[in-house]
Copies of this chain bind each other. A is one copy, B any other.
Amino acid sequence: MRHLEELHDNGWEKVSSAQLGAQLGLTPSQIRQDLSCFGAFGQHGYGYDITQLSGALKTILGENAKLNAILLGAGNIGKALLCNFCFEQCGICMKAAFDINPEYVSTKIFGVGIYDAKELENYVKNNRVDIAVLCLPKAAAEENAALLKQLGVEAFWNFTNTELFPPESDAIIENVHFSDSLLALSYMLTERKEKNVEPNKRLCG
């Protein structure tokens, strides 16, 4: 999706699975087979019309679903998201943010009102909330996630450094674990450096 938009911005109108594959580091087969899971978006002998394909993907990804979100925790990360991240572009409507800090309450960040955390339950009961964005400290996150789940919120975008629910939970969770990500990078770099020094003791690809 991201790549298709880039191509579109650069004036491309069509693209073949071979081109897409080369640009993304995938095989043409993979492009075609993955897309075919969701339908037939290409034209034989021509390729994929970029506008058409990205339109279809948008629908599949739910960008047209008009989902409502709220944000919990207007600290540094929460603020950074509200200010910098374009929820709109992902088809998400950011409705409200909640915090316990009285300094923040009743202010607005980038057009989004900050409410007292005490009002959270009431808000969720009276408004449709599809996605909760969690930017809280660990303990508060678990507590609030459980509450929200109970109130019917199904999806969580989790910036806390914890698993919110046990594996058997049916909540939909997308974790953004910064430390996992950085450690993965650290691992890849460390591994490469070791390989360069002692090229004979590697295991497992």
Q: Does A8 contact B (CB under 8 A)?
A: no
* B residues less than 8 Å from A182 (CB atoms): 87, 90, 92, 157, 174
Q: Is the CB of B67 within 8 A of A77?
A: no
Q: Give A187 to B60 CA distance when docked, in angstroms.
A: 7
* B residues less than 8 Å from A190 (CB atoms): 60-62, 65, 67
* B residues less than 8 Å from A75 (CB atoms): 84
Q: Does A204 contact B (CB under 8 A)?
A: yes
Chain A contacts to B: CB under 8 angstroms: 1-3, 6, 22-25, 37-38, 60-63, 65, 67, 75-77, 79-81, 83-87, 89-92, 130-131, 154-157, 161-163, 166-168, 172-174, 176-193, 203-204
Known: A62-B183, A79-B80. 14 other contacts (CB 8 A): A2-B177, A2-B179, A2-B180, A25-B168, A62-B189, A63-B183, A65-B190, A77-B84, A89-B179, A155-B189, A172-B192, A174-B188, A176-B178, A176-B181
27 A–B contacts, CB within 8 A, in A order: A2-B179, A6-B162, A23-B167, A24-B167, A25-B168, A37-B203, A60-B187, A61-B183, A61-B187, A62-B183, A67-B190, A76-B84, A77-B84, A80-B80, A90-B186, A131-B185, A154-B192, A155-B189, A156-B185, A157-B181, A157-B182, A172-B185, A172-B192, A174-B181, A174-B182, A176-B176, A176-B181
